[in-house]
Amino acid sequence: MFIATLIAAGRLDDRMVDRALGLLRELDPKARFGAWIDEGDAVDLHVSGDAKAVRWALESLPEVDVVVQPPEPRFRKLLVADMDSTIIGQECIDELADFAGLKREVAEITERAMQGKLDFKAALRERVALLSGLEEDAIARCLAERVVPNPGAATLVRTMRVGGARSLLISGGFLSFAEPVAKMIGFDTVRANRLLFDGTQLSGGVEDPIVDAQAKLEALIEERGKLGVEAADVLAIGDGANDRLMVEEAGLGVAYRAKPALAEIADARIDHHGLDALLWAQGIRKKEWVCG
């Protein structure tokens, strides 16, 4: 049996629930109503069968996010999250490149890399090389002027932390951005790439080893081992091809407003809500959220 959670904040009514049950009963005649998590916002339905088929059926509902998962474990003990375009709404390297007048050139490379059309390490080195000579203070300006958390990011992290979960922010971007973002949002630990400097200017290089898809996977497995938890206890979320391995490894792997390369393999997609929707996916009522 699976729990299928429908999320449509402020719009979820009995009519929509009945429509969802009708879709599910074409797959499982015994599909049934479970319980409201928050009436009007999120509801659990119970269904048996193939999880992907259940998800595909329910994703035909307009502007509804759907999470299909086994009943246990519901609350995850480890959150692993990508940063750029996931926890924050920006690609930091693209925004930093804007200070050098190179945003369009760098953003084009970033997009192709996130689609999985370029080797990530080579694409990162190519983009960083373009930033050679940029003054270090551009990073602080970029953080202050451009970097904004995505809706619900802090609420997700802080509520899970209060529940006893640990959180890891892992980025194919840079520590210069990831460490302040992690502190702002409330992550326990962070991993990212380190930019190299020549005095007060970017040298155009990045320190090895580069945090790529394999490194993200290994970090998830390492953190999981430290906590002594199983794969099922892990929630991982990202948006691009570079997040694919860690999302596949997690018990609940989520694509957040993601590129097709990730969306097609994730256990669930969040396309219409903020990151705090993943608290409903874990059965947590809004009155228990720790708002960020």
Q: Tokens standing for 124? A: 């990162």
| Pairwise CA distance, residues 87 & 210, whole Å | 20
Catalytic residue of the set 38, 82, 94, 233: 82
Catalytic residue of the set 41, 44, 84, 239: 84
Residue type, 171: S
Can 82 be counted among the known catalytic residues?
Answer: yes
Residue whose token pair is 């980025």: 171
Q: Report the half-sphere exposure of 28 (CA within 13 A, side-chain side).
A: 23
Please, are residues 106 and 118 in contact by the beta-carbon 8 Å criterion? no
Residues in the chain: 292
| Pairwise CA distance, residues 94 & 88, whole Å | 13
SS3 129: helix
How far, in Å, are 119, 120, 270 from residue 165 at the CA level? 33, 30, 21
Please, are residues 151 and 276 in contact by the beta-carbon 8 Å criterion? yes
**Main-chain phi, psi angles of 67, to 5 degrees:** -125, 120
Pairing of strands 78-81, 234-238: parallel
Residues acting as catalytic residues: 82, 84
